Amino acid sequence: MQAEVKSEPYRKLIIAVSIVIPLAVAALFGIKIPGYDLSFLPPIYATINGITAVLLVTAVVAIKNGKRALHERIMKICIFLSVCFLVMYVAYHMTSETTHFGGTGAIRYIYLFILATHIILSVVIIPMVLFSYVRAISGDFVRHKKLSMVTFPLWLYVAVTGVVVYLMISPYMHHS
């Protein structure tokens, strides 16, 4: 109960951030700033997704081997990389035209399924990551572990599908 009380002050903030980020991203998508060529960003932020996926697995291995300090450092890096990804992703989409997938037939439906689940889960994962993090730093390891058992595979899916979406859409991107 005491650990739950410790994380309570963050509850409203986490909920607010979890609502504001997707709304801000959606709003910023409607803003186009001409004159900037940020076409170099997609392979960078796709790589960040790939690195995040590898680090998430590494962090789970670390904690399963009792290396809590290493696990904590890696998870902080994963959160930092996710923030970097988000900033680059928004910057790219504010300065570039939307790329449409050019594949047809079954591959188009596969792409759209991967993209839709990636987007939906990328929104869902925000409060899950933040609550998992707060539970860990406040010492509520029982609740942290319980939530992380769900958060980890979803975050890993988002990271991996971010790379897959990039690889599938990149042949149709306009490179300057």
Closest C-alpha to 159, from 73, 82, 105: 82
**pLDDT tens string 84-139:** 999 999 999 999 988 999 999 999 999 999 999 999 999 999 999 999 999 999 99
3-state secondary structure 13-25: HHHHHHHHHHHHH
State the pLDDT at residue 106: 97
Architecture of domain 17-172: Up-down Bundle (1.20)
Q: What mean pLDDT do residues 139-156 have?
A: 96
pLDDT (0 to 100) of residue 8:
65
Q: What is the pLDDT of residues 28-85, one digit of tens each?
A: 888 899 999 999 999 999 999 999 999 999 999 999 999 999 999 999 999 999 999 9
Predicted confidence (pLDDT) at residue 1 exceeds the cutoff of 50:
no
* CA–CA separation, 92 and 80 (whole Å): 18
pLDDT at 50: 98
Cα–Cα nearest to 133, from 152, 116, 117: 152
> What are the boundaries of each domain within the chain?
17-172
Inform me whether the pLDDT recorded for 4 exceeds 70: no
